[in-house]
Chains A and B, each alone.
Chain A
Amino acid sequence: MIPNAFDYFSPTSVDETIALLQKHGYDAKILAGGQSLLPMMKLRVAMPSVLIDINHVDDLRGWREENGYLRIGALTRHADLENERNLMDRYPLLSKTAEWIADVPVRNRGTICGSLVHADPGSDWGAAMIALHADVEIIGPSGVRRVFIDDFFVDTFTTALEVDEIASAVLIPSPIGRAAARYMKLERKAGDFAIVGVALHVVKANDGTILDVGIGLSACGDVPVRAKKAEEWLLGRPLDQETINQASLLAQEEANPATDLRGSAEYKKDLVRVFVKRGLEEIAEELR
């Protein structure tokens, strides 16, 4: 449980951070909350020779709403969103997801962007950001670019980030209408990675039909999965029992989980069905 020796840098600006990444390339790792990176280093699963600690880069702090988006800076911690009352009405999925992550000490340090960049298919934020149709804001030597969350996740532990880029923020479209959300998760013990996690985000139009919907699945493939067919089915329909049942079956079809110590693929697919159904039933009740 002792990491290998490494050099440590603590830049105070994004430019300085990018310059360090350009210099050290694949030998370097960005340290934000460190809640995945440091355990991996202690186990020597990860052995970076350079750590670039971005905790003193002020531009990466905090969240704000601008231009129709909620912009969550790279240093925003899970606990910040879990406890932020100002976000609970319009972005309910954020606190509902955050409260499922690991334990309080991890939530106090770990960051949302860090979790996305780590790209563990079993992460809770991956599924939630899929459901919220988020973009990831990326800064590199040639400037700022935005990547849709579905394109951001390339493979297990692999994202669209280039070696000299950082994820500076995640951007969530502000909902136009009443939003309700659920994060459904089954875990072997409190704070464990999901056996299966389902993130549900629904915006209802005035006529009672669904204006916007997102369904993200955790631990259901090589990357966080979008239940696209289920989303398409729900759009424009009222949230009645028959619609919900059909959506849960469609979502199940899109899950591609692996058989492991947490259960068989067949079991996990059925959990997706049960969770989509239960979650949408609760949302329908809430938005009634």
Chain B
Amino acid sequence: MAINQCELRPMGKSIHRKEDPRFIRGQGRYVDDIVLPNMLHMSIVRSPYAHARIKSINTDAAYQVPGVKLIITGEDLAKLKLAWIPTMAGDVQMVLAVGKVLYQYQEVAAVVAETRAAAVDAAQLVEVEYEALPVVVDPFRAIQPDAPVLRDDREKKSNHIWHWEAGDREKTEEIFKDAPVVVSQDVRFQRVHPSPLEPCGCIADYNKGTGKLTWYVTSQAPHAHRTVLAMVSGLPEHKIHVISPDVGGGFGNKVPVYPGYVCAIVASLQLGQPVKWIETRTENIASTGFARDYHMKAEIAADENGKVLALRVKTLADHGAFDAAADPTKFPAGLFSIVTGSYDFQQAFVEVDGVYTNKAPGGVAYRCSFRVTEAAYLIERTMDVLARKLNMDPADLRLRNFIKKEQFPYQSPTGWTYDSGDYEQTFKLALEKIGYQELRKEQAEKRARGELMGIGISTFTEVVGAGPSHSFDIMGIKMFDSAEIRVHPTGKVIARLGVRHQGQGHETTFAQIIAEELGLTTDDVLVEEGDTDTAPYGLGTYASRSTPTAGGAAALCARRIREKAKKIAAHLLEVGEEDVAWNGEAFQVKGLPSRKVTMGEVALAAYTNLPEGMEPGLEATYYYDPPNLTFPHGAYIAVVDIDKGTGAVKVRRFLAVDDCGNVINPMIVEGQVHGGLTEGFAIAFMQDIPFDEDGNCLAPNWMDYLVPTALDSPHWETDRTVTPSPHHPIGAKGVGESPNVGSPAAFVNAVVDALAPFGVEHIDMPIFPWKVWEILRKSGVTE
């Protein structure tokens, strides 16, 4: 049961979400709910071809539609030097196509009209003449020397974007040379899409009188978006006001700056009227940031007893037509080198090559701390392949190879310093809770009867909270985050942070952190995010970074306030500051618990009765540069039954034991885990964005890009261990993404386990029923 918001000492309690009343009653305020006077609407003309030269664009018929105000093409933007914009990955991307299109659904023209219907009508009448060019869909084809070069704008005449590596190639080779056991597995992490319920959109409102641009936008990182916009457009940063109102899910999809945003801004600048652009579902899936699309090969060298020695990973990353991946700038393959996972490898070598293809750009961190999902899936899948080769129980293999509790802080062979963890404890709890030995017995009995049951394990390590300024920046801006807390005379608090929640519950959890530090209740603290004119600068919410960064800032900012409050308390208690102690709820005179003042009393004094010479008011700002990332981990176990007749997989049980350090609100953590597991389930069994050989996107809508509902998702069992982060101010680690990072491998391992009697070692996701049926068919199994 959730607890009301009026309790003191709220930390670690399942406080009711402050967001819920407005969302449940339909009183949220999303971008599309905002209607401004004289607002115009924009619709985008998109390419039906995946690769084609644009021979001509004729807008005459479109301009005849009543209410049409403006039609923008790539040539128009080129005159403003806005046809191309920089991406976060150091590439450039087209806003509107100039000369040619590089993927189906690419933006070709933008139509602005008085109504949305008129904009759509006119967009249909924009005549674009294309000349089809050879299409490259397969990334392996893209890197062949005779493949058509897609990006003729670049100096480098090749579809190869970059090569990136981590670890020690020579030392790793050395171990592989003499290793008694080597396994190798090709693993594809298919192209998926975050698919938030609310698609992307914005309203650009440029006031020619004030010279100020107000930009309402579905943004996970409003400050970063403002800075990028200032750099790209030349508008002064203080005259750009970015407002990210309620956001209906982001999952990484709302981190990049999209062409539609730029077009709406250009239109508003030209017309001096607000311009709204809201994506359709198809536009969201087919043109905005996809995730994954990694073609990976992993090899593990081990000894005969199953002790792992070295890991070698080679990956081809399909980035689509532009490298618009959303990673910290120094990390083109994100944090993929966390791929050694929870295991104590002596050496590892990881290399990734990015390539262009005729597909939509992206590579966003979908509920994932920058390519960690790919990494966790790969290592957890390959550990099972090793277990099979050695004829070992996959649980035993993991227990033999975990990084031990006493090895933390642990230096990984690819350069990470794991802050803390106790993998064995978490895994043993999971094994016990699910009844692992009994399940294996049941499985043996069922196998004897010809029934197909599988058990899948994933004991993953996450790396979240980007990040420390020595390594992490986005286009040069360090990835710190911030909090600003103001305590008003009646003891009520407004707190503003540099992050921007999209369902994570910051209004509750950050209020809990601050209330705990200040001896107040959650109800006393109003958390505001998403307005660049009021909130302190921060890099936004993604990659499970809010609690590790802004959460730390909130705690330290509150402590800064408490320092000043203590001085005022001493004044009120008429003792020296050294005689005052904080008891968690109030300041008291040391040794005299009954002589105390509350934060409410101190707050009033801060405005009415100050010690002489003290600056009035009670507020503080804190910019927190975390010393390290945090490393949450978990042990997940899936149990599946397979229908031999249809190939359908039923997830009978799924247990997730997470360790995300100290927990602020257990109910919110559980909700995060449920949501992430459901998305992981969808990736394992339902989701893919396939393309045909002409580059046509075959799942550009929710008919074919399958989003699960409560009817589809299994029942989730959850539990927790607590290994606090030693360096985080409240010992918390971030959890939103663990279930999505950790669960796909558990599902796939379970299905492969069920099919192991037929020699199956791997199945690529998504595991549709027909894939299983084909394996059974080949194995002579039928109903």
B768 and A188 within 8 A (CB): yes
Of all chain B residues, which has the CB nearest A270? B773
Give the distance to chain A from B7, nearest Cβ to Cβ, in Å.
38
Q: Does B391 contact A (CB under 8 A)?
A: no
By a CB distance below 8 angstroms, the chain B residues around A103 are 709
Q: Does A235 contact B (CB under 8 A)?
A: no
Q: How far is the CA of A106 from the CA of B709 in the complex (A)?
A: 15
CB contact under 8 A between A192 and B770, given known A2-B116, A186-B646: no
B712 and A190 within 8 A (CB): yes
B769 and A189 within 8 A (CB): no
User: Which of B280, B686, B783 is the one whose CB lies under 8 Å from A188?
Assistant: B686
A261 and B709 within 8 A (CB): no
B704 and A261 within 8 A (CB): yes
Give the distance to chain A from B711, nearest Cβ to Cβ, in Å.
4
Give the distance to chain B from A249, nearest Cβ to Cβ, in Å.
12
Q: Does A62 contact B (CB under 8 A)?
A: no
A267 and B774 within 8 A (CB): yes
Q: How far is the CA of A44 from the CA of B43 in the complex (A)?
A: 14
Q: How far is the CA of A274 from the CA of B690 in the complex (A)?
A: 29
Give the distance to chain A from B618, nearest Cβ to Cβ, in Å.
50
By a CB distance below 8 angstroms, the chain A residues around B783 are 274, 277
Q: How far is the CA of A139 from the CA of B120 in the complex (A)?
A: 37
Q: How far is the CA of A264 from the CA of B777 in the complex (A)?
A: 13
Q: Does B75 contact A (CB under 8 A)?
A: no
By a CB distance below 8 angstroms, the chain A residues around B120 are 2
User: Which of A1, A262, A263 is the one whose CB lies under 8 Å from B280?
Assistant: A1
Of all chain B residues, which has the CB nearest A263? B770
Q: Does B117 contact A (CB under 8 A)?
A: yes
Of all chain B residues, which has the CB nearest A259? B770
Give the distance to chain A from B593, nearest Cβ to Cβ, in Å.
59
A189 and B121 within 8 A (CB): no
Q: Does A195 contact B (CB under 8 A)?
A: yes
User: CB-CB contacts of B116-156 with A at 8 A, as 1s and 0s?
Assistant: 11001100100000000000000000000000000000000
Give the distance to chain B from A38, nearest Cβ to Cβ, in Å.
15
A262 and B770 within 8 A (CB): yes
Q: Does A13 contact B (CB under 8 A)?
A: no
**Which among B698, B704, B708, B773 has the greatest number of chain A C-beta atoms within 10 A?**
B773
Q: Does B181 contact A (CB under 8 A)?
A: no
Give the distance to chain A from B702, nearest Cβ to Cβ, in Å.
9
User: CB-CB contacts of A1-22 with B at 8 A, as 1s and 0s?
Assistant: 1101100000000000000000
Of all chain B residues, which has the CB nearest A44? B124
User: Which of A2, A267, A278 is the one whose CB lies under 8 Å from B770?
Assistant: A267
Q: Does A191 contact B (CB under 8 A)?
A: yes
User: CB-CB contacts of A162-195 with B at 8 A, as 1s and 0s?
Assistant: 0000000000000000000000001011111001
Q: How far is the CA of A207 from the CA of B93 in the complex (A)?
A: 75
Q: How far is the CA of A44 from the CA of B120 in the complex (A)?
A: 10
Q: Does B314 contact A (CB under 8 A)?
A: no
CB contact under 8 A between A274 and B646, given known A188-B706, A262-B770: yes
Q: How far is the CA of A145 from the CA of B445 in the complex (A)?
A: 61
Q: Does B281 contact A (CB under 8 A)?
A: yes
Q: Does B648 contact A (CB under 8 A)?
A: yes
User: CB-CB contacts of B211-222 with A at 8 A, as 1s and 0s?
Assistant: 000000000000
Give the distance to chain B from A182, nearest Cβ to Cβ, in Å.
14
Q: How far is the CA of A186 from the CA of B686 in the complex (A)?
A: 14
B773 and A267 within 8 A (CB): yes
Give the distance to chain A from B574, nearest Cβ to Cβ, in Å.
67
A271 and B709 within 8 A (CB): no
**Which among B690, B703, B770, B777 has the greatest number of chain A C-beta atoms within 10 A?**
B770
Q: How far is the CA of A103 from the CA of B707 in the complex (A)?
A: 14
By a CB distance below 8 angstroms, the chain A residues around B116 are 2
Give the distance to chain A from B280, nearest Cβ to Cβ, in Å.
5
A263 and B709 within 8 A (CB): no
B768 and A263 within 8 A (CB): yes
B117 and A2 within 8 A (CB): yes
By a CB distance below 8 angstroms, the chain B residues around A195 are 769-770
Taking chain A's interface residues, is the majority helix, strand, or loop, or is none over half, making it mixed?
A: loop
Taking chain B's interface residues, is the majority helix, strand, or loop, or is none over half, making it mixed?
A: loop
Number of interface residues of B (CB under 8 A): 31
Of all chain B residues, which has the CB nearest A264? B770
Give the distance to chain A from B354, nearest Cβ to Cβ, in Å.
28
Q: Does B645 contact A (CB under 8 A)?
A: yes
B690 and A5 within 8 A (CB): no
Taking residues whose C-beta sits less than 8 angstroms from the other chain, chain A's interface range is 20 to 34
By a CB distance below 8 angstroms, the chain B residues around A1 are 280-281
B709 and A190 within 8 A (CB): yes
CB contact under 8 A between A263 and B711, given known A1-B281, A2-B120, A44-B124: no
Give the distance to chain B from A39, nearest Cβ to Cβ, in Å.
9
Q: How far is the CA of A278 from the CA of B645 in the complex (A)?
A: 10
Of all chain B residues, which has the CB nearest A278? B645
B117 and A189 within 8 A (CB): no
User: Which of A5, A188, A190, A271 is the one whose CB lies under 8 Å from B117?
Assistant: A5
By a CB distance below 8 angstroms, the chain A residues around B647 are 267
Of all chain B residues, which has the CB nearest A42? B280
B768 and A189 within 8 A (CB): no
Q: How far is the CA of A1 from the CA of B280 in the complex (A)?
A: 6
By a CB distance below 8 angstroms, the chain A residues around B698 are 261
By a CB distance below 8 angstroms, the chain B residues around A262 are 768, 770
Of all chain A residues, which has the CB nearest B771? A263
Give the distance to chain B from A191, nearest Cβ to Cβ, in Å.
7
By a CB distance below 8 angstroms, the chain B residues around A2 are 116-117, 120
Of all chain B residues, which has the CB nearest A193? B703
Q: How far is the CA of A259 from the CA of B116 in the complex (A)?
A: 38
Q: How far is the CA of A277 from the CA of B645 in the complex (A)?
A: 10
User: CB-CB contacts of A135-176 with B at 8 A, as 1s and 0s?
Assistant: 000000000000000000000000000000000000000000
Q: How far is the CA of A288 from the CA of B281 in the complex (A)?
A: 50
User: Which of A261, A271, A278 is the one whose CB lies under 8 Å from B690?
Assistant: A261
By a CB distance below 8 angstroms, the chain A residues around B711 are 190-191
User: CB-CB contacts of B705-729 with A at 8 A, as 1s and 0s?
Assistant: 0111101100000000000000000
B281 and A186 within 8 A (CB): no
Of all chain B residues, which has the CB nearest A271? B646
User: CB-CB contacts of A263-288 with B at 8 A, as 1s and 0s?
Assistant: 11001001100100110000000000
CB contact under 8 A between A189 and B704, given known A5-B117, A267-B774, A274-B646: no
Q: How far is the CA of A100 from the CA of B686 in the complex (A)?
A: 19
User: Which of B121, B645, B768, B774 is the one whose CB lies under 8 Å from A274?
Assistant: B645
By a CB distance below 8 angstroms, the chain A residues around B648 are 186
User: CB-CB contacts of A210-246 with B at 8 A, as 1s and 0s?
Assistant: 0000000000000000000000000000000000000
B645 and A189 within 8 A (CB): no
Of all chain B residues, which has the CB nearest A1? B280
Give the distance to chain A from B201, nearest Cβ to Cβ, in Å.
12
By a CB distance below 8 angstroms, the chain A residues around B690 are 261
User: Which of B121, B280, B686 is the one whose CB lies under 8 Å from A4?
Assistant: B121
Q: How far is the CA of A278 from the CA of B783 in the complex (A)?
A: 10
Q: How far is the CA of A188 from the CA of B688 in the complex (A)?
A: 12
Q: How far is the CA of A188 from the CA of B306 in the complex (A)?
A: 39
Q: How far is the CA of A185 from the CA of B703 in the complex (A)?
A: 17
Give the distance to chain B from A250, nearest Cβ to Cβ, in Å.
17
Q: How far is the CA of A103 from the CA of B711 in the complex (A)?
A: 10
Give the distance to chain B from A278, nearest Cβ to Cβ, in Å.
7
CB contact under 8 A between A189 and B686, given known A44-B124, A278-B645: yes
Give the distance to chain B from A139, nearest Cβ to Cβ, in Å.
33
Q: How far is the CA of A116 from the CA of B221 in the complex (A)?
A: 49
CB contact under 8 A between A186 and B769, given known A2-B116, A261-B698, A274-B783: yes
Extra A-B contacts (9), CB below 8 Å, given A5-B121, A44-B124, A190-B711: A4-B121, A5-B117, A186-B648, A189-B706, A190-B709, A195-B769, A262-B770, A274-B783, A278-B645
> Can you list 12 A-B contacts (CB < 8 A)?
A2-B116, A5-B117, A44-B124, A189-B706, A189-B707, A190-B709, A191-B709, A191-B711, A264-B770, A270-B773, A274-B646, A277-B783
Residues of A within 8 A of B (CB): 1-2, 4-5, 44, 103, 186, 188-192, 195, 261-264, 267, 270-271, 274, 277-278
